Structure 1
Amino acid sequence: MKVHQIQVGNMQNFSYIIEDEDTGDAIIIDPSWDLVELEMIIKRNNLKVKYIVNTHHHFDHTLGNEAMAKSTKSPIIQHEFSELPHDISVKDGDFIEFGNSKLKVLHTPGHSKDSICLIGDGKIFSGDTLFVGNCGRIDLPGGSAQDLYHSLFDVLYSLDDNLVLYSGHNYGPSEVSTIGQEKVTNHVMQKRTEQQFIDMMG
C-alpha cells in the first residue's frame, strides 16, 4: 500500500491517495483543494480510483468531493452519521477494500460526530482525531471533549505502537509519526482522567 501525501490549501490540510501497488486500484482520502495535483498523481501512476473517502464532514476535508467524484466516476464514502451527500455509509468495524488492500474503519467521534480513522498495512489515517503533537478541536458543532477522550484512550491508545500516523493537517513538527511516538510526546495522549481531559480541552 503506497501513500501519496499531498499538502493542500492554506489550512495545512493533507489529502491522500492510497495506492494498491498490486493492482493500481486506489482511494482518495479528504480531497479539498489543489485537485489538479491529485489528478496528476492519478494520471502519472495510471491509478484506478475506486472510492473517495472522507474522515469527517468538515468543508476543508470534503470541498473537492464533487469534482473528484465527477472526474474519477467514484462513489463517496462517509460515516453513517455524516449529513453530507454521499453514496456509501460505513460504521465502526467495516472494511474499505480496493485491489488487494483494505482499510478498517474506526469510529472516533469527538472532533465531530462522524469522525473516522482508517487502519491497515501498518498505517493509520487519523483525520482530525489525532494530529502529530495535538488533537482536533472540540468547539465546532458536534464536537465533544468527552467523546474525544474515549476515542483517544479507548480506541487509539491500545493500537500497535508501530502504526505510522498520517493525520488530516500538517500541524506538528513532522508530517508523519507513529502511535507509539505520540503516546510519548503528544500532550493529549498522556494518561489522565476523563474530567482532567475535559478541563484541559476547555
Structure 2
Amino acid sequence: MIVHQIQVGNMQNFSYIVEDEDTSESIVIDPSWDLIELEMVIKENSLKIKYIVNTHHHFDHTLGNEAMVESTKASIIQHENSELKHDIAVKDGDVIEFGNSKLKVLHTPGHSKDSICLIGDGKIFSGDTLFVGNCGRIDLPGGSAKELYHSLFDVLYSLDDNLILYPGHNYGHKETSTIGQEKITNMVLQKRTEQQFLDMMG
C-alpha cells in the first residue's frame, strides 16, 4: 500500500490517496480544497480511484467529494451515522477493499458521531479522532468528550504500537507518527479516568 499524503487548504488538512501497489486501484480519503494536487497524483501514477472515503462529515474533509466523483466516477463511502450524501454506508468492523488491499473501519465517535478510522497494512488513517500530539475538538455539534474517551482508550490505545498514524490535519510537530509514540508523548493518550479526561477536555 502506497500512501500519498497531501496537505491542502488553509486549515492544514491532509487528503490522502492510498494506492494498491499490485493493481494501481486506489481510494481517496477526505478530498478537500486543492483538488488539482490530488488530480496530479492520480494522473502521474495512472491510478484508478475506486472509492472516496470520508473520515467524517465536516466540510473541510468532504468539500471535494462532488468534484472527485465527477472526475473519477468513484463511489462515496461514509459511516452509517453520516447525514451527508454518500453511496455506501459502513459500520464498525466493515472492510473496504481496493485491488489487493484492505482497510478495516473502526467507528471512533467523539469528534463527531460519524467519525471513523481506517486500519490496514501497518497504517491507521485517524481523521480528526487523533492527531500527532493532540485530538479533535469536541465542541462542535455531535462532539462528545465521553465518546472520544472511549474511542481513544477502548479502541485506539489497544492497537499495535507500530501502526503508522496518518492524521486528518497537520497540527503536530511532524506529519506522521506511530500509535506507540503517541502513547508516550500525546497528552490526550495519557492513562486517566473518564472523569479526569472530561475535566481536561473542559
Normalising by structure 2, report the TM-score. Answer: 1.00
Residue of structure 1 in register with 2:96 after alignment: 96
Distance 2:77 2:54 in 1: 6
1:194 is displaced (CA, Å) by: 0.2
Distance 2:184 2:107 in 1: 23
RMSD value, Cα: 0.3
Q: Figure out how many residues of one structure are paired with residues of the other and give that number.
A: 202
Residue of structure 2 in register with 1:168 after alignment: 168
1:181 is displaced (CA, Å) by: 0.1
Specify the SS of the correspondent of 2:67: helix
User: Partner letter of residue 53 of structure 1?
Assistant: V
Residue of structure 1 in register with 2:81 after alignment: 81
Percent identity over the alignment is 85
Residue of structure 2 in register with 1:112 after alignment: 112
Distance 1:42 1:64 in 2: 15
Distance 1:21 1:46 in 2: 12
Distance 1:32 1:38 in 2: 9
User: Partner letter of residue 77 of structure 2?
Assistant: I
Specify the SS of the correspondent of 2:40: helix
Superposed CA deviations along residues 37-77 of structure 1, whole A, max 9, x for unmatched, are: 10010010000000000000000000000000110000000
The list of structure 1 runs, each at least 4 consecutive aligned residues, that deviate by more than 3 angstroms after superposition, is none
Residue of structure 1 in register with 2:188 after alignment: 188
Distance 1:4 1:102 in 2: 16
Residue of structure 2 in register with 1:28 after alignment: 28
1:199 is displaced (CA, Å) by: 0.6
Distance 1:24 1:6 in 2: 18
* 1:38-53 correspondence runs (5 A): 38-53=38-53
Superposed CA deviations along residues 143-168 of structure 1, whole A, max 9, x for unmatched, are: 00000000000000000000000000
Normalising by structure 1, report the TM-score. Answer: 1.00
Distance 1:24 1:168 in 2: 23
Specify the SS of the correspondent of 1:33: coil
Distance 2:147 2:66 in 1: 30
Distance 2:95 2:66 in 1: 23
Is 1:130 matched up with 2:122? no
